[in-house]
Amino acid sequence: MHAAKQTALEYALTSTPFTFNRMGLPLRRRVENIAKGKFAESVVVSVLQRGGLAIDVDSCQTPFWSRDRRDFVLGDHEWDVKSLFLHALPPRRNFDECLALIPNNSSSDQWATRELRYVPTAVAGPCYLFVFFGPVTVEIDLDERQEAFLRTLCTRYHERESPSEPFDREWFLGEFPNLDNVLMRLSDNPIMAITGVASSREWDRFHARPAGRVLVDGVPIFETKIENMACRAGDLPPFSSIANWTP
C-alpha cells in the first residue's frame, strides 16, 4: 500500500504540468485527483493479479509528460479503469444502482476516444472497467514554494502533453522543494466494488448526463462538475462474466 501511495504521489507531481485542467480545479485539488486516479489504478491491478489474471501493464505505460491511454491489457482487450470516488455509499451498498460515467466534456475526452486502439496486440479493442470506491479521503499538503514550483512548470508547458521528454524525472524530484515533506494521506481500508464493463457492444446503453448531483434511492452519492455519458452499472455485463474472475 505504501509503495502504491508513493508512486501515485510522485506521478501526480510530475504529470500535473502536462494534464489539462478540465474541471478548473485549484492546483492542490488537481494533484490530489491525479494521485487518487493513479492509486486506484494500482489497487485494481493488484487485486486482479492476486486473483490469478494475467494482467499486462507494461504495454500501456506512458511517460509522465503524455496523457494516459489505457491501464492494462487482458486477453484481446486493452482496458481503461474508470474509477469513481463516491461521497457516500449507495443504500444497502447496492453499487449496481450507481452510474457508470465516461467523461464527455470535450472532443478529446474519454467518450470521444472510446474506440481508439493504442495497443496493437489488443485486437478486440478497448474496454472500460467501472470501479467504485467508498468514501475515500486523499489529502496532499503543498506549501507556497512547492505550489509556486508547480505553477511555473504548468505555465511553461501549458498543461498539455508534451511531444518529447521535457525534463528528466530525477531532476524534478531533486529540484522540487522539500519533497520528503510532502505526504499523501489516504483513508484506511477503502471500500472497492468492481462492477460492469463496456465495449463497443454497450455504447448504445449510455445516455448524456449533465453536471450535477448523482442520486441512488434519493441519497446523493456523488457530484460531477462536467458532462458525462452515463449508464446504470447493473445494466452492463459484470467484469466476472468477461474475464472469468470471481472477487
Identity of residue 211: A
Instruction: Output the DSSP codes for the chain.
Output: -HHHHHHHHHHHHHHGGGS--TT---HHHHHHHHHHHHHHHHHHHHHHHHTT---B-GGG---TTS----SEEETTEEEEEEEEE-SSPPGGG-GGGSEEEEE-SSTTSTTTTTT----TT-TTEEEEEEEEE-S--EEE---HHHHHHHHHHHHHHTTS--SS--S-HHHHHHHSTTGGG--EEE-SS--EEEEEEE-TTTGGG-EEE-SEEEEETTEEEEEESS-EEEEEGGGS-BHHHHHT---
| Burial class of residue 53 in the structure, from the number of CB atoms within 10 Å of its CB (0-12 exposed, 13-18 middle, 19+ buried) | middle
Rounded CA-CA distance 159/65 in Å is 10
pLDDT tens per residue across span 83-138: 999 999 999 999 999 999 999 988 888 999 999 999 999 999 999 999 999 888 88
pLDDT at 171: 96
Where are the chain's structural domains? 2-238
Closest-CA residue to 195 (of 220, 225, 212, 216): 216
Length of the chain: 247
Average pLDDT for 39-54:
90
Average pLDDT taken over every residue of the chain: 92
Average pLDDT for 182-188:
82
pLDDT at 222: 95
